[in-house]
Homo-oligomer: A and B are copies of this chain.
Amino acid sequence: MWMDTKPEVKGANRRQTNTIQHVLNGLLLFTGDMRHLDKYMQDKLFVLQLAVGALRGVTMVILANNPLSGALILIALYWTSPWMSLLGALGVLASMLTALIIGQDSAEVTAGVHGYNGMLVALLMGALSSAGDWYWWLLVPACLGSATCVFLYSSLSSVLDRWDLPVSVFPFNTVIILYLLCTGPNNPYFPHYPSLPPGTLDPNDTDLVPAEVMRGVVLGVGQIYACEELGPSFLILGAVLLYSPLLLLHALLGSAIGILAGLSMAVRHECLYSGLLGFNGALGCMSIGGLCFIFNWRTHLLAIACAFFSSYVDIALGNLLGTVSTRWSSRGFFGDVSHVFAVFFSAMNSVPLLPQVGLSASSWASTIIITLMLLLTGSLATYRIPSDQVMAPEHNRSFRLSWKSGKVTEVESTDVGCG
Contact = CB atoms under 8 A, between A and B. Distances in A.
A403 B140 CA distance: 41
Interface string A242-281: 0000000000000000000000111000000000000000
A373 interface: yes
Contact of A200 (B187, B265, B351): B187
A333 B320 contact: no
Given A158-B377, A265-B187, A347 B333 contact: yes
A361 to B, nearest CB: 11
A207 to B, nearest CB: 15
B338 A376 contact: no
Q: How many copies does the complex hold?
A: 3
A315 B182 CA distance: 6
Interface residues of A, number: 76
A327 B319 CA distance: 7
Interface string A341-354: 10110011011111
A199 interface: yes
A159 interface: yes
A151 B309 contact: yes
A333 B319 contact: no
B319 A184 contact: yes
A372 B152 contact: yes
Given A103-B378, A162-B162, A265 B356 contact: no
A53 interface: no
Contacts of A351: 333, 354-356
A300 to B, nearest CB: 13
Contacts of A344: 337, 341
10 contacts: A105-B377, A151-B372, A154-B378, A155-B376, A177-B316, A178-B312, A181-B315, A181-B319, A323-B326, A333-B347
